[in-house]
Amino acid sequence: MLILALSIMVVPLFLADVHATSGCITSCLLKADTTVPGADGTVYVELDNNTGLVYPLPHTFSFANNSRHTLTVLNTTLSASSGARYVWNEWVRSSLQWTPTLMMQTPIMLYNYTGSLDGGPFTAKFDKQFQYTLTFKDAAGQSLVPSPTSVVLSSAGSSVTTSSYSGQWLAATSWTVTSATWEGYQGALPAPVPLDLALGSASAIVGVSAYPASVKVVDKLNSPIQGASVTITFANATSRTFTTDSQGTVQLGDIPIGPYSAHVLYQGQDQGTWSEDASVAPVSTVTLNAGGTSSAPVVSAIVLLTIFGVALFLILLAIKVRRPLPPPKI
C-alpha cells in the first residue's frame, strides 16, 4: 500500500518534468547523491531491498528502460571528525521534496535523471548539526542556581524550546537565545544572546535578571534578632520560609527581578510585612518594634547602706569641725 501511494503521488510530479529530461532506450541513468560531504562520512543505500546491492553515495545507477526501483538509506546518523553530526531528513529532487522515508521509489525509468537539466539527481538530505553549551549568570556575574527551567533559541524564523543546556545538538547555523524562564518568571532574559553554530560547536554565557538577596532582621537598637521566622513571597507568588541566624540574617540566594515581600514572625507575634527589591538593595534590613529598652542598674542594699553610712560620717565630721571653740576662762 505504501509503494502504491507513493506511485500515485510521484507520477504527476514527473509528468511536469518530461520536457526537462532526456529520453533513454535501453539503459536509463539515475544519479543518487547526498548532502553529506565525503570528508565527513559516507552514506550507503541499498538497491531494491537486496542486502547484496549496497552502494556509497554519490552513485549513478543504470536501470533498464521502463523499470522501477527503490533506494533505501542505511545509515541515518553520521559523526564527522569536525565535531559535526549529520541526521537523516528526506529524499529531495532539485528543489522539490520527495519523501521523508528512508526508502525512495524511483519513477518509471523512461528518462535519465543525472543532472539539474535532466530532472535529477535524487539527493539523500541530512541535517548538519553541532553541539552547544549554555551557562547562566546572575546580575552579579555569579553562577545562577538553579538554572532556568527553559530557554527559547531562534534562527531564521524557527525556534526551539529546551531545558537541556549541555551536549545538545542544533542545526549548524546562527542561533540566538531569545527568551528564558527562571523561577516562573518568563521575562528573565535582559537581552538576546547569540549562539553561532555555523562553523562548529559553541558555548554562550547567558545573563539572567536574577539578583542575590538577603534580609537582616534587627531590633530598635540595631541588634540582630536570631530565630525570627521570615516568609518571602516572590513576584511569581511562590513563597519560602526562613529562620534568621545568629546575625539576624537569612540568605535568599538569587531571586527574580521585581519586588518581593518579607513577612516576619518573632516570639509568636506578627511583626508585619515589608516590600523589598533585590535589584535596588541586595541586603534589606527589617527593623522590628522589639528590644531597644534599657533598665537602670540595680544597686544592692548593702551598697546603699555603705554609701549612706559614709555620707553620715562625713556630715558628722563636718559638724564637729565647725563647732566653735569655748570662750577663754577669766
Residue of 178, 6, 21, 13 lying closest to 114 (CA atoms): 21
- Provide the pLDDT for residue 77: 97
For residue 302, pLDDT beyond 70: no
For residue 220, pLDDT beyond 70: yes
Helix (H, G, I), strand (E, B), or coil: what is residue 100?
A: coil
Domain positions in the chain are 2-78+86-126, 130-210, 211-287
Tell me, which fold does domain 130-210 have in CATH? Immunoglobulin-like (2.60.40)
Confidence grade of residue 295 (pLDDT, cut at 50, 70, 90): very low
Arithmetic mean of pLDDT, 298-311 = 52
Range scoring the smallest mean pLDDT among 96-100, 169-173, 180-184, 248-252: 96-100
Strand partners, 265: 229, 270
Arithmetic mean of pLDDT, 158-176 = 95
Arithmetic mean of pLDDT, 255-259 = 81
**What does the block give as the cell for 106?**
524511483
For residue 294, pLDDT beyond 90: no
- Provide the pLDDT for residue 86: 98
Arithmetic mean of pLDDT, 119-124 = 86
**What does the block give as the cell for 56?**
556509497
Q: What is the mean pLDDT of the chain?
A: 84
Helix (H, G, I), strand (E, B), or coil: what is residue 159?
A: strand
Fold match, 2-78+86-126 / 211-287: yes
**Higher confidence at residue 114 or residue 162?**
162
**What does the block give as the cell for 7?**
506511485
Task: Name every residue whose Cβ is closer than 8 Å to that of residue 284 and which is 6 or more positions away in sequence.
Answer: 213, 214, 215, 216, 262, 274, 276, 278
**Higher confidence at residue 176 or residue 12?**
176
Strand partners, 90: 125
Range scoring the smallest mean pLDDT among 8-17, 208-217, 264-273: 8-17
Q: What is the CATH number of domain 211-287?
A: 2.60.40.10
**What does the block give as the cell for 44?**
550507503
pTM score: 0.70
**What does the block give as the cell for 276?**
523589598
Sequence letter at residue 75? N
Q: In what order do the strands lie in the sheet with 150-155?
A: 158-162, 150-155, 174-181, 193-196
Confidence grade of residue 94 (pLDDT, cut at 50, 70, 90): confident
For residue 307, pLDDT beyond 70: no
Arithmetic mean of pLDDT, 266-278 = 89
- What is the C-alpha separation between 156 and 127, in angstroms, rounded? 15
Task: Name every residue whose Cβ is closer than 8 Å to that of residue 271 and which is 6 or more positions away in sequence.
Answer: 228, 264, 265, 286, 288, 289, 290
- Displacement of CA 13 from its chain's centroid (Å): 45
* Percentage of the chain modeled with pLDDT above 70: 81
Confidence grade of residue 4 (pLDDT, cut at 50, 70, 90): very low
- Displacement of CA 199 from its chain's centroid (Å): 23
**Higher confidence at residue 186 or residue 161?**
161
For residue 53, pLDDT beyond 80: yes
The architecture of the domain spanning 2-78+86-126 is Sandwich (2.60)
- Provide the pLDDT for residue 324: 57
Rounded alpha-carbon distances, angstroms, from residue 304 to 277, 297, 310: 55, 13, 10
Confidence grade of residue 91 (pLDDT, cut at 50, 70, 90): very high
- What is the C-alpha separation between 257 and 234, in angstroms, rounded? 9
Rounded alpha-carbon distances, angstroms, from residue 289 to 110, 142, 222, 240, 300: 96, 35, 11, 23, 32
- Provide the pLDDT for residue 109: 93
For residue 123, pLDDT beyond 80: yes
For residue 283, pLDDT beyond 60: yes
- Provide the pLDDT for residue 187: 81
> Beta strand 210-218 with 283-287: parallel, antiparallel or unpaired?
parallel
**Higher confidence at residue 131 or residue 24?**
131
CA angle 253, 254, 255 (to 5 degrees): 120
